[in-house]
């Protein structure tokens, strides 16, 4: 089947390509060959992969339990990792000093200082609090940590005294999975609607396209604000998460539907589709075995470019307080705490989760750009 | 490896990643409720398990100390000054002086014939601010007060409900019969200060209150102020149901009968009350409640006297672009929509100092307009405003840091502890109840054990520190604010952080985690039997502190197996929700009712049908026993003229309210005042918000600035002028 698609998708025989080599390389191999030549795309892929790994194994990378709230430990600044101690001696093994707080007698500003009396070496693959790999297998191992009594917070702590680094890693679970699910649902809906609309044409196409316009013209922010008010009060954060996925996907499929329709309109009159029709292939067979696979490259590109949009949309809504709520945590939710004078003036580390959002958005955009360039491996550069 | 195999592996790997993320994202149920014992073994007979659970609960209750703890003394905070309290006769009086003075530039206008001489502009016996009540003594003329307003200016028909822009504009421009703001300065009484009404007297039987107003006082256009204005403001504004006056006729109804107002002569009138000595009514004659409207301007435009006008036109009869006729110290003379408002001294203001200087001392007040209240603090930090009320804890430290810098133009002072946040539980049995679960939740809220359980769950000191480190905030039990003059620490039942006690109370209520999911389940004998104990908590989008409290409640109650779904709503959505009764728990910033209970005594307990957290719907309300006790106390308090008895009543109120956890206080802090260092005569220890806000409390007419510190005026030499009819 792959060869028929490939053969049909372009008149490759006209190109000066080594026919023998081409026969041994699938479409995806060609895409990969071209993709890996793009350094930004590889970098983007690695950025995304890093965030995914950090998200899945957040507890492994977190030396302190990110769900462990201690309100008395609120707003501790990031721990400084040292190699030189208070007396000026160099140590090969990195270490930290615990931080102690004093209050400025005039401004009441909390002043955090390292306490040289409380020194803790940083250890790798330490055993401390228990967590479950993939939520299933219990373990006590963590990538790094300090001995009992030591407090290491790479990005400081937030208002409930929870470790911000661990929370930012774990927040990727919601932010990434929400965007991924919402994108996948929107891709499925958009692709099916686009293909059906383009393939059947006529009245069906007309009706579907008007519906697409209707959905595309829906004002999203008022819809969110209305939803925030009417969501049943017994719904917990997970249910709100699911409804967010559904709404995001139902509002973001229209662009893809339009684009796929355009592609299918072009394919509809090509020889391989006409041939399939002549041979008596059913509509479903033509749609799912011919038209859909031929649009897949385009769909993948849209997928990678839609994800960052949804990450930003989720961050925006959670920042406004109408998205994810406690006890779930997303990057946008973490940023909600960064919108006051106190954060800008005193607790600047509360803004650090924005780096995760930037890395994710840049990563997916680089990846998407690379895929877009690589998706049509038969084009002449 | 073939490409198809690679693709398969890639697909499986992707699927695994997505599944792993989902499992991780949703796997939040590891926390085990402290309240719940291990789930009963499946084989065990349910009855036996139930009996075991009951025994466990009883044992837990017996072992845990459920008694309240002592409410601690407040921490001393640098930057707070004691208020210098004085008897009224050392603050102000009403008397004629030998001679009167005015600013030079106003004298020039008199010489030009634009204004009559100052003696003719002032009343026979002007209101005299005494030097003994001035912290910096008699002042000099000139200077500007720069401020900030974050509300749109609708117009100046305040009596018909229009806003001039708040943030002090109303306080600067309008005057009322009495004034509550400066009560905090009085040592002799907690009554409002005389203002336009210079004295009043109760009849022997307490049914009549005769008041005398200033004789010869004039509006800012020179028209005499008389009882005709008072009568018009009463009959055609307050009592007229078609006029949206700030406080309508309902506030003047006692035992279903309306209060009457009778004019005796041009400067004397009396209230005739249906009950004896309703002393609390004095607080309904103060600023913001009994607005005095200019009859000579508005009467001809009132629909009752002018058939061409309707009430909509009438409300807009004093538009923002036209200089209004007012009685206050300053008159708005220029308004640029959403940008700037300039107020200039009122040459007819009826107050003087002891040396005969017509007040105010300042020539000009400028309000910069902005979209949000925090802009006032930011403008003060930036140096473009002279005053801000520090009411948002997240701005405290930044403001203090700026105030400590050498070139800072303002200082910061902290008031009493009257900035409180609490969690309310909806105590109504019917309003907003849609199903069995809702009914079960409301019954639960009405059980004192549950309210205590929530109170015990809250780590108040931790929450205070999580909002703002330092000594600014501390735990609060509910009831009266610690900064209230009626507050007595010994009357507080403080159910502070004690998770074991909370867990024991939840177990005693029959809650147990029967399905092992980390969330307690409703007991079999309740309407929501078997369901998870999930409660909705509403916070406010506009008040960040409510969200922090809400998030902390999710964590702290979650540790005990109570799932809290928190949702921030904007003020409009919250208002609708409150009116429909469709809420369960909510975090509020509490009103000044708990600081100055006498001014709002009917809000202390569910007296009114619209009471904040026990609202009546279509069916009659079922008050809990202790609620009825609170109602009785509040009603007695409202009409009690004796200050000592009022104090005793409030002590009893506070004891009953906190013992029964009427609502769950979370933390209390202080409002801060940021004010320009160049301002003189700002009373020491002046609260930002007590009986009223800063502009009413400071008595702006007495504020002055030394000549060398005065900044340039935007409209020097300008006085309010009016087109002749």
Structure tokens at A219: 């004002």
Confidence (pLDDT) at B105: 97
What is the pLDDT confidence band of residue B391, given thresholds at 50, 70 and 90?
Answer: confident
Is the pLDDT reported for residue B709 higher than 90? yes
Give the nearest partner residue to A236 out of B20, B401, B534, using CB atoms.
B534
The top-scoring range by mean pLDDT among B224-228, B524-528, B587-591 is: B224-228
Inter-chain touch B567–A173, beta carbons under 8 Å: no
Average of per-residue pLDDT across B471-491: 92
Q: Are the C-beta atoms of A291 and A201 separated by less than 8 Å?
A: no
For residues B229-245, give the mean pLDDT.
Answer: 94
Phi-psi region of B581 (alpha: psi -120 to 50; beta: other; left: phi over 0): left
Mean pLDDT in residue range B589-604: 87
> Is the CB of B7 less than 8 angstroms away from the CB of A55?
no
CB-CB neighbors (< 8 A) of A75 in chain B: 466, 469
CB contact under 8 A, B401 and A110: no
Calculate how close chain B gets to A128, using CA atoms only, in Å. 17
Q: Which regions in chain A score pLDDT beneath 70? A: 1-24, 228-229, 233-234, 236-237, 321, 376-381
Which residues of A fall within a CB distance of 8 Å from B397? 107-109, 342, 345-346
pLDDT of residue B13: 55
The C-alpha of A90 sits at a distance from chain B's nearest C-alpha, in angstroms, of: 35
Q: Is the pLDDT of residue B383 over 90?
A: yes
What gap in Å lies between CA A30 and CA B319, rounded to an integer? 73
Instruction: Answer yes or no: is pLDDT of B216 > 70.
Output: yes
The whole-number pLDDT of residue B44 equals: 43
Size of interface A-B (CB pairs under 8 A): 164
Check: CB of residue B219 under 8 Å from CB of residue B238. Answer: no
Assess whether pLDDT exceeds 70 at residue B11: no
Distance CA B174, CA B700 (A): 12
Query: What pLDDT score was predicted for residue A381?
Result: 43
| Chain B: residue whose CA lies nearest to A161 | B466
For residues A248, A254, A256 and A258, what is the CA-based torsion angle, rounded to 10 degrees?
A: 180
Q: What is the DSSP letter of A163?
A: B
Structure-block tokens of residue B48:
């036996």
Positions of E strands within chain A:
82-84, 90-103, 110-133, 137-146
Q: Among B537, B549, B534, which Cα is nearest to B577's?
A: B537
CA distance A164 to chain B (A): 14
DSSP-derived 3-state class of residue A348: helix
Give SS3 for B250. helix
- The three-point CA angle B87-B83-B485 to 5° equals 80
Beta strands per DSSP E along B460-529? 474-475
Contact yes or no for A160 and B558 at CB 8 A: no
CA distance B669 to B483: 9
Q: Could you give the 3-state DSSP secondary structure of residue B218?
A: strand
Give one word for A75, left, alpha or beta, with left for phi > 0 and alpha for psi -120 to 50.
left
Show residues of chain A in contact with B7, CB under 8 Å: 28
| Statement: residue B438 has pLDDT above 60 | yes
Smallest Cβ distance to A340: which of B3, B394, B469? B394
Nearest to A229 among B437, B466, B569 (CB): B569
Q: Calculate the alpha carbon distances from A269 to A132, A200, A266, A293 in Å.
A: 54, 12, 6, 16
Kindly list the residues from chain A whose CB atom is less than 8 angstroms away from the CB atom of residue B466. Answer: 71, 74-75, 159-161
What pairs with residue A381 in β-bridges?
none
* Chain B residues lying within 8 Å of A342, measured CB to CB: 394-395, 397-398, 468
Report the candidate in A128, A85, A358, A104 with the shortest Cα–Cα distance to residue B79.
A104
Residue A156's φ and ψ, nearest 5 degrees, are: 80, -170
pLDDT at B160 over 90: yes
pLDDT of residue A16: 47
Per-residue pLDDT at B20: 53
List chain A residues with CB under 8 Å of B15: none
Nearest Cα neighbor of B504 from B561, B466, B426, B555 is B561
Work out the pLDDT band at B38, boundaries 50, 70, 90: very low
Q: Which of B340, B412, B381 is nearest to B144 (CA)?
A: B340
Query: For A157, which residue in chain B has the nearest alpha carbon?
Result: B466
Q: What does the pLDDT read at residue B608?
A: 83
Per the model's pLDDT, the better-predicted residue between B51 and B337 turns out to be B337
**DSSP string of B313-333?**
HHHTSS-TTSPPP--SSEEEE
Mean pLDDT of B58-75: 81
Kindly provide the ipTM of the predicted complex, given to two decimals: 0.75
Contacts of A357 (CB under 8 A, 6+ apart): A175, A311, A312, A315, A331, A332, A335
pLDDT value, residue A172: 92
Chain A closest-CA separation from residue B19 CA (Å): 9
Q: Choose among B23, B78, B466: nearest Cβ to A160.
A: B466
Separation CA B225–CA B214 (nearest Å): 8
Range of weakest confidence among A155-159, A234-238, B385-389, B682-686: A234-238
Tokens of B339: 């940008």
pLDDT at A9: 46
Q: Is the pLDDT of residue B4 over 60?
A: no
- Set of chain B residues whose Cβ sits within 8 Å of the Cβ of A180: 18, 21
Strands across the sheet containing A82-84: A82-84, A90-103, A110-133, A137-146
CA distance A195 to A199: 6
Could you give phi then psi for residue B336, rounded to 5 degrees?
-105, 115
pLDDT of residue B254: 87
* Beta strands, E only, B289-445: 330-336, 340-345, 351-353, 364-369, 387-390, 410-425
pLDDT recorded at residue B43: 40
Q: How many CA atoms lie within 13 A of A94 on its CB side?
A: 11
CB contact under 8 A, B466 and A159: yes
Nearest to B397 among A101, A109, A159 (CB): A109
User: Which residue in chain B is spatially nearest to A55 when comparing CA positions?
Assistant: B21
Q: What pTM was computed for the model?
A: 0.79
CB distance B472–A108 less than 8 Å? yes
Contacts of B548 in chain A (CB under 8 A): 159
Enumerate the H helices of A279-291 as residue ranges.
283-285
Q: What is the pLDDT of residue B5?
A: 59
Partner residue facing B459 (CB), from A71, A173, A231: A71
Angle at which helices B544-558 and B448-457 cross, to 10° = 100
């Amino acid at each position: 089947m792959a060869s028929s698609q490939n053969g049909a998708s372009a008149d490759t025989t006209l190109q000066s390509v080594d026919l023998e080599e081409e026969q041994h390389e699938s479409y995806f191999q060609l895409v990969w060959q071209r993709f890996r030549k793009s350094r930004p795309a590889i970098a983007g892929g690695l950025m995304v992969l890093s965030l995914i790994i950090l998200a899945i194994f957040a507890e492994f990378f977190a030396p302190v339990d990110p769900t462990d709230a201690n309100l008395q430990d609120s707003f501790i600044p990031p721990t400084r990792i040292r190699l030189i101690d208070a007396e000026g001696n160099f140590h090969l093994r990195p270490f930290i000093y615990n931080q102690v707080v004093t209050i400025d007698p005039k401004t009441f500003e909390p002043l955090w200082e390292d306490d040289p009396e409380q020194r803790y070496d940083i250890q790798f693959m330490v055993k401390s609090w228990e967590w479950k790999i993939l939520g299933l297998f219990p373990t006590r191992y963590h990538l790094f940590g300090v001995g009992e009594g030591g407090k290491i917070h790479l990005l400081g702590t937030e208002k409930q005294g929870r470790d911000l680094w661990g929370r930012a890693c774990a927040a990727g679970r919601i932010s990434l999975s929400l965007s991924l699910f919402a994108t996948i649902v929107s891709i499925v809906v958009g692709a099916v609607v686009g293909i059906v609309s383009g393939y059947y044409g006529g009245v069906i196409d007309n009706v579907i396209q008007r519906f697409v316009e209707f959905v595309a013209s829906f004002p999203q922010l008022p819809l969110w604000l209305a939803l925030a008010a009417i969501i049943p009060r017994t719904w917990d954060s997970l249910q709100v998460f699911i409804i967010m996925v559904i709404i995001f996907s139902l509002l973001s499929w229209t662009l893809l539907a339009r684009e796929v329709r355009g592609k299918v309109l072009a394919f509809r009159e090509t020889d391989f589709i006409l041939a399939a029709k002549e041979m008596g292939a059913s509509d479903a067979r033509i749609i799912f075995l011919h038209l859909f696979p031929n649009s897949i490259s385009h769909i993948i590109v849209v997928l990678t470019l839609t994800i960052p949009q949804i990450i930003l949309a989720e961050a925006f809504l959670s920042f406004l307080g109408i998205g994810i709520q406690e006890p779930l945590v997303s990057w946008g939710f973490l940023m909600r705490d960064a919108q006051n004078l106190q954060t800008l003036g005193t607790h600047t580390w509360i803004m650090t989760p924005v780096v995760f959002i930037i890395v994710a958005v840049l990563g997916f955009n680089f990846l998407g750009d690379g895929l877009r360039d690589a998706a049509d491996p038969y084009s002449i550069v | 490896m073939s490409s198809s195999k690679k693709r398969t592996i890639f697909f499986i790997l992707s699927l695994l990643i997505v599944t792993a993320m989902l499992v991780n994202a949703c796997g939040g149920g590891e926390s085990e409720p402290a309240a719940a014992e291990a789930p009963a073994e499946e084989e065990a007979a349910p009855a036996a398990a139930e009996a075991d659970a009951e025994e466990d609960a009883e044992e837990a209750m017996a072992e845990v100390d459920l008694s309240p703890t002592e409410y601690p003394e407040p921490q001393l905070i640098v930057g707070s000054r004691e208020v210098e309290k004085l008897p009224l006769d050392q603050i102000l009086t009403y008397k004629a002086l030998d001679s009167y003075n005015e600013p030079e530039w106003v004298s020039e206008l008199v010489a030009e014939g634009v204004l009559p001489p100052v003696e003719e502009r002032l009343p026979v016996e002007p209101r005299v601010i005494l030097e003994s009540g001035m912290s910096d003594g008699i002042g000099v003329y000139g200077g500007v007060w720069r401020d900030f307003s974050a509300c749109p200016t609708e117009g100046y028909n305040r009596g018909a409900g229009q806003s001039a822009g708040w943030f002090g504009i109303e306080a600067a421009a309008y005057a009322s019969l009495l004034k509550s703001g400066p009560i905090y300065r009085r040592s002799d009484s907690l009554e409002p200060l005389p203002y336009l009404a210079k004295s009043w007297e109760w009849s022997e039987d307490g049914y009549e209150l005769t008041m005398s107003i200033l004789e010869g006082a004039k509006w800012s256009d020179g028209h005499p102020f008389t009882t005709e204005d008072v009568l018009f403001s009463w009959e055609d504004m307050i009592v007229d149901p078609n006029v949206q006056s700030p406080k309508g006729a309902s506030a003047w109804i006692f035992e279903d009968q309306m209060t009457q107002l009778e004019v005796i002569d041009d400067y004397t009138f009396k209230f005739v009350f249906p009950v004896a000595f309703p002393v609390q009514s004095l607080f309904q004659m103060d600023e913001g409640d009994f607005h005095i409207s200019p009859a000579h301007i508005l009467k001809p435009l009132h629909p009752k006297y002018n058939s061409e006008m309707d009430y909509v036109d009438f409300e807009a009869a004093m538009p923002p672009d036209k200089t209004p006729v007012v009685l206050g110290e300053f008159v708005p003379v220029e308004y640029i929509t959403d940008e700037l408002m300039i107020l200039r001294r009122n040459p007819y203001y009826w107050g003087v100092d002891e040396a005969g200087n017509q007040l105010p001392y300042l020539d000009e007040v400028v309000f910069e307009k902005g979209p949000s209240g925090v802009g006032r603090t930011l403008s003060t930090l930036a140096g473009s405003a002279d005053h801000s009320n520090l009411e948002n804890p997240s701005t405290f430290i930044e403001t203090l840091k700026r105030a400590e810098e050498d070139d800072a133009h303002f200082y910061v002072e902290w008031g009493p502890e009257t900035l409180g946040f609490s969690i309310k539980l909806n105590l109504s049995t019917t309003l907003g109840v849609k199903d069995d679960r809702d009914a079960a939740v409301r019954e639960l809220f009405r059980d004192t054990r549950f309210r205590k359980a929530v109170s015990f769950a809250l780590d108040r000191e931790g929450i205070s520190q999580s909002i703002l480190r330092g000594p600014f905030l501390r735990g609060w039990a509910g009831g009266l604010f610690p900064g209230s003059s009626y507050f007595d620490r010994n009357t507080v039942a403080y159910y502070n952080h004690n998770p074991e006690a909370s867990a024991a109370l939840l177990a005693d209520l029959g809650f147990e985690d029967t399905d092992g999911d980390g969330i307690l389940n409703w007991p079999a004998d309740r309407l929501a039997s078997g369901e998870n104990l999930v409660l909705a908590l509403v916070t406010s989008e506009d008040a960040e502190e409510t969200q922090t409290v809400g998030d902390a409640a999710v964590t702290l109650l979650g540790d005990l197996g109570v799932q809290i779904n928190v949702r921030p709503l904007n003020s409009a959505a919250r208002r609708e929700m409150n009116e429909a009764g469709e809420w369960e728990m909510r975090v509020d910033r509490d009103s000044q009712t708990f600081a100055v209970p006498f001014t709002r005594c009917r809000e202390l307990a569910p007296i009114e049908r619209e009471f904040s957290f026990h609202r009546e719907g279509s069916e009659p309300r079922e008050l809990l026993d202790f609620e009825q006790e609170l109602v009785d106390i509040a009603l007695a308090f409202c009409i009690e003229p004796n200050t000592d008895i009022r104090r005793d009543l409030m002590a009893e109120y506070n004891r009953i309210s906190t013992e029964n956890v009427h609502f769950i206080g979370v933390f209390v802090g202080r409002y801060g005042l940021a004010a320009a260092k160049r301002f003189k005569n700002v009373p020491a220890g002046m609260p930002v918000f007590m009986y009223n806000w800063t502009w009413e409390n400071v008595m702006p007419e007495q504020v002055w600035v030394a000549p060398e510190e005065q900044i340039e005026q935007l409209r020097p030499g300008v006085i309010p002028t009016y087109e002749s009819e």
